[in-house]
Amino acid sequence: MTRRHRADPPVSWMQQEQANGLDENLFAWSRVVLGVGDPIEDGTMSIRARVENAMIQFVIGRPEGALLSILTAVPATSRRRRPRGTPSVLHSGKPMGDGEAFELFVHDQLILICRAQNYFVQFRGQQRPIESILYKWMRCELAHEGGLPIDIKFEPNRADGMTFLHVGPGGLRMSYGWLDGLADAVVQAPENADHFGMPPRLPIPICLPEIGITIGDINKGGESS
């Protein structure tokens, strides 16, 4: 089974700009990444900084790192929409857990993410909503196991520019274009207006003189799609 949707014109950070003079030294990499974006939000990295880090990691060739950064911005945003203590929809009389808040937020934003109101995928013998796959098998596996499961592949868009999700005998294949939709879901959430403005704008350009990279068109700014 293949689900396809035509990608909108890609935002600047998805164009894999050349990273001339990139220093692959791990200490230098950590220094650059941790030095970008809003430094602190209640002792943790801000939502804006997570989106910026996703852009940086994608441009330097670390797409799974970009995916993890976006998938940590999503739950942070989901808790702005449904704070801790919000009653659970699934479990009467109990507070809503992090996974439920994440999945409800993704479902709210599916039109931005994949131009659909509902999106189900046959995976591991069952029809599952995409929001469940993104949380349980992608966000949690990346955060807690350090990588995606063996039956999930994250790979480049097709040559014709189509974003895709395909399920076959080898498992699930998802293309990099999903980063655009997930970023849009975070950037355009009204709860994040303090990070991205109103109307919302992607946090570009990002200038990294230490490694000679500018992400995004410095002359056009960064309006989200």
pLDDT in tens, 213-222: 777 754 444 4
d(CA 100, CA 106): 10
> Using an 8 Å Cβ cutoff, are 205 and 9 in contact?
no
More confident residue, 224 or 29: 224
Sign of the alpha-carbon dihedral angle for 38, 39, 44, 49: positive
> Using an 8 Å Cβ cutoff, are 218 and 206 in contact?
no
Confidence band of 59 (pLDDT split at 50, 70, 90) = confident
CA dihedral 138, 140, 144, 150 (to 10 degrees): -30
d(CA 175, CA 160): 12
More confident residue, 36 or 81: 81
Q: Is the pLDDT assigned to residue 77 strictly greater than 90?
A: yes
Q: In the predicted model, what is the mean pLDDT of residues 88-97?
A: 96
In the predicted model, what is the mean pLDDT of the chain? 80
Whole-angstrom CA distances from 41 to 12, 46, 76, 208, 223 are 26, 5, 11, 22, 24
Q: In the predicted model, what is the mean pLDDT of residues 165-181?
A: 94
Of 20-29, 39-48, 155-164, where does mean pLDDT reach its minimum? 20-29
Q: Which residues of 184-197 are buried (b: 16+ CB within 10 A; e: fewer)?
A: bbbbbbebbeebbe
d(CA 189, CA 199): 10
Q: What is the model's pLDDT at position 37?
A: 41
As given in the structure block, the two tokens for residue 22 are 């990139």
Q: What is the model's pLDDT at position 221?
A: 42
Question: Which residue type sits at 49?
Answer: A
Question: What backbone phi and psi angles, to 5 degrees, belong to 104?
Answer: -65, -40
End-to-end CA distance of the chain: 28
Q: Beta 171-175 vs 163-168: how paired, if at all?
A: antiparallel
